[in-house]
Amino acid sequence: MSEAPVFSVADGQFVASQLSRGPWDPNAQHGGAAAALIVRAFEGLPAPEGLGLARVTYEFVRPAPVGPVEVHADIVRPGKRVQLLEATMVADGVEVVRARGLRVLTADAAAVDGDGGPPPPGPEHGKPAQIRPPHRPMFAFDAIEIMFVTGSWGGGPSTAWFRLRSPIVEGETPSPLQRLAAAGDFGNGISATLSWDEYLYINPDLTLYIEREPVGEWICLSSETRISADGIGIAESVLYDSRGRVGRATQALLVAPR
Partner 1 sequence: MSVFDVVDGRFVATELASGPWDPNAQIGGAPAALLARAFESVPAADGLILGRLTYDFIRPAPIGPVSVRASVARDGRRVQLLEGAMLAGGVDVVRARALRVHRASAGAGASQGNPPPGPDAGRTGELPGLHRPRFATDANEVRFVEGGFGGGPGTAWFRLTCPLVGDEQATPIQRLAAAADFGAGLSSALPRERYIFINVDLTVYMDREPVGEWICLSSETRIAGGGIGVAESVLFDECGRVGRATQALLIAPR
Quick one: which segment of 18-26, 31-39, 174-182, 249-257 binds partner 1 (CB under 8 A)? 249-257
- Close Cβ partners of 108 (under 8 Å, ≥ 6 residues apart): none
Q: Are residues 257 and 234 in contact, defined by beta-carbon separation less than 8 angstroms? A: no
Q: Are residues 29 and 171 in contact, defined by beta-carbon separation less than 8 angstroms? A: no
21, 40, 179, 248: which one contacts partner 1 (CB under 8 A)? 248
Q: Are residues 29 and 84 in contact, defined by beta-carbon separation less than 8 angstroms? A: no
What phi and psi values does residue 35 have, to the nearest 5 degrees?
A: -60, -45
| Binding residues among 108-147 for partner 1 as defined by CB under 8 A | 108-109, 111-114, 116
Quick one: which segment of 76-84, 143-151, 159-167, 215-223 binds partner 1 (CB under 8 A)? 76-84
Binding-site string for partner 1 from residue 167 to residue 206, where x marks contact by CB under 8 A and - marks none: --------------------------xx----x-x--xx-
User: Which residues on neighbouring strands pair with residue 119, listed in sequence order?
Assistant: none
Q: How many residues are listed for the chain in this entry?
A: 258
66, 182, 210, 221: which one contacts partner 1 (CB under 8 A)? 210
Q: Residue 189's CB: how many other CB atoms inside 10 A?
A: 28
How many amino acids of this chain bind partner 1 (CB under 8 A)?
A: 60
27, 57, 175, 242: which one contacts partner 1 (CB under 8 A)? 57
- Tell me the longest C-alpha to C-alpha distance in the chain: 52
Amino acid at 51: L
The residues of the shown chain that bind partner 1, judged by CB under 8 A, are: 52, 54-55, 57, 59, 61-62, 77, 81-82, 84, 98, 100, 102, 104-109, 111-114, 116, 193-194, 199, 201, 204-205, 207, 209-213, 224-234, 236, 245-248, 250, 252-257
